Amino acid sequence: MDLMHLSSPCGWINDPNGFIYFRGKYHLFYQHFPYAPQWGRMHWGHAVSDDLIRWQHVGNALFPSKFDDSDGCFSGTAVEDNDKLRLFYTGVRYTEPNPENTNCYLNEGFVSAQMEISSSDGFTFDNFGEKRTVVPAITNPEIGSAVNTRDPKVWRGKDAWFMMLGTSADNCGRLLFYKSSDLTDWDYVAFAELPNRGRMWECPDYFELDGKGVLIISPIGMEKGDNQAICMRADFDEQTCTMSISENYTYLDYGMDLYAPQTACDKDGARTLIAWARMPQPISGGRIGMFCIPREISLIDGHIFFAPHKNILAAFTKKIEFLSQANCKKAMLKASLTDGGSIDIGGFILGYNDDVLTADRSAVFPHRTHAQSRTPALGGKCNLLVFIDENLVEVFVNDGMYVLTNVVYGLADSINSNSDALSELYTLPDH
């Protein structure tokens, strides 16, 4: 059982997949290579939760079994239809042999098709009998790439089902839109793109908040060094499948590690996001990969906020009176910084200077690069809610206006500050 953060049960995990509240439980699948702590021929691992805090791993749901997914079941989403769980994902087939590692492709030698599998209970997946290819590999490069077209996001519109895929055309990221009346037959309708947002778009997600559309993409090859997920306003016209995408974007997270997020509605309808925290080396048990805490998304005056999910906030009820007793695992710290203020969380240092919050993990991270991250200007106030776990520190600034999430290794059990900034520290009651 994982508490607070879902992490790899063994081997490797990356993107969250098929996140859904189905028949009274949260189901969260994930990209998984069970045999070694490195990326390889992808399976979908599967975990369930009653509260978005405790996650129980229940084995592998999907594994390669058909011609079109013979070398991997890449990312995708879940929907509920007629009381059935339907998973849409990208099936991958390698086209060039890799004698040194048959689990990995060589030279982008693979093709991608969009596939579907359904389950009537959400736990049993017939990988041999129930899989179908719903969108074959693309053959027209003017529409998209035969290799890099993937990560179906499927949702119910007013009168039809829609599927959005990430792809690449002319070295530019792009979205493809398909429409279906029955989730079985899909017609390609239109594409949308923006220049200067990377050469390929992965893991697209689209949803509405109070009637206004939000698009999240994970572009490859944007300016910020490693790939980072971005979000922006977008409007989707269901009649024509056209999406107008705002030029203005913000980062999903201003730390260095979050990628490939996915959203679902929680049981009360709140739009909730979970993302993969990229890790440079294994955690305890020789496993690699974990997810951030669930975040509730809201749109306030045109800005997209990511706040900790209400279940997480409600769970941290045990107050720690003396900071000297701080245990930097499973803790929630509330603090406000004034100019020049800083907090040292077991070697992970937060500092507020010139209206910008900086996080410095050089003492608790194995690489010199990617040690520092910072928010945009904060408008004169710096109220923090920090979630601390053994390998992840998540800093929510000003009620989720910006978030800084960073992977860490070897945090010490002490919290210190150069000011009276520390206000309250909490942990989970049963921890």
* Cβ 341 to ligand FRU shortest distance, Å: 36
DSSP 125: -
Give Cβ neighbours of residue 211 (< 8 Å, ≥ 6 apart).
Answer: none
- C-beta pairs of 54-60 under 8 Å, 24+ apart in sequence: 54/1, 54/2, 54/3, 55/1, 55/2, 55/3, 55/6, 55/28, 56/1, 56/2, 57/2, 57/9, 58/123, 60/32, 60/34
- CB of 31 or CB of 406, closer to ligand FRU: 31
Instruction: Say if residues 425 and 316 touch (Cβ distance below 8 Å).
Output: no
| x/- track of binding to ligand FRU for residues 132-171 (CB under 6 A) | ------------------xx--------------------
- CB of 88 or CB of 236, closer to ligand FRU: 88
User: Does position 90 bind ligand FRU by CB under 6 A?
Assistant: yes
* Cβ 428 to ligand FRU shortest distance, Å: 30
- CB of 103 or CB of 336, closer to ligand FRU: 103
Sign of CA dihedral 249, 254, 256, 262: negative
* Cβ 201 to ligand FRU shortest distance, Å: 9
- CB of 276 or CB of 365, closer to ligand FRU: 276
User: Does position 5 bind ligand FRU by CB under 6 A?
Assistant: no
* Cβ 311 to ligand FRU shortest distance, Å: 26
User: Does position 260 bind ligand FRU by CB under 6 A?
Assistant: yes
- CB of 14 or CB of 77, closer to ligand FRU: 14
Binder of ligand FRU out of 29, 55, 74, 352 (CB under 6 A) = 74
Nearest residue by C-beta to ligand FRU? 74
- What are the strands, taking DSSP E only, across 110-157? 110-119, 132-135, 150-156
Binder of ligand FRU out of 75, 114, 391, 405 (CB under 6 A) = 75
Burial 121-133 (b: 16+ CB within 10 A, else e): ebbebebeeebee
- CB of 49 or CB of 262, closer to ligand FRU: 262
User: Does position 241 bind ligand FRU by CB under 6 A?
Assistant: no
| x/- track of binding to ligand FRU for residues 348-387 (CB under 6 A) | ----------------------------------------
- CB of 75 or CB of 272, closer to ligand FRU: 75
Exposed/middle/buried for residue 411 (C-beta within 10 Å: 0-12, 13-18, 19+):
buried
- CB of 43 or CB of 330, closer to ligand FRU: 43
SS3 188: strand
3-state helix/strand/coil string of 390-429: CCEEEEEECCCCEEEEEECCCCCCCEEECCCCEEEEEECC
How far is CA 47 from its chain centroid? 15
Which candidate, 146, 109, 113, places its Cα nearest to that of 131? 113
For residues 55 and 47, give the distance between their C-alpha atoms in angstroms, rounded to a whole number. 6
Instruction: Say if residues 32 and 276 touch (Cβ distance below 8 Å).
Output: no
User: Does position 114 bind ligand FRU by CB under 6 A?
Assistant: no
Tokens of 32: 């998984």
Placement of tokens 């996915």 in the chain: 262
Query: Using CB under 6 A, which residues numbered 178 to 207 contact ligand FRU?
Result: 202-203
* Cβ 197 to ligand FRU shortest distance, Å: 15
* Cβ 287 to ligand FRU shortest distance, Å: 16
- CB of 7 or CB of 417, closer to ligand FRU: 7
Instruction: Determine the length of the chain.
Output: 431
- CB of 218 or CB of 417, closer to ligand FRU: 218
The identity of residue 2, as a single letter, is D
SS3 371: coil
User: Does position 73 bind ligand FRU by CB under 6 A?
Assistant: no
- CB of 86 or CB of 150, closer to ligand FRU: 150
Binder of ligand FRU out of 8, 31, 77, 262 (CB under 6 A) = 31
For residues 104 and 72, give the distance between their C-alpha atoms in angstroms, rounded to a whole number. 10
Binder of ligand FRU out of 7, 8, 14, 118 (CB under 6 A) = 14
Residues forming contacts to ligand FRU in the complex (CB under 6 A) are 14-15, 31, 42, 74-75, 90, 150-151, 202-203, 259-260
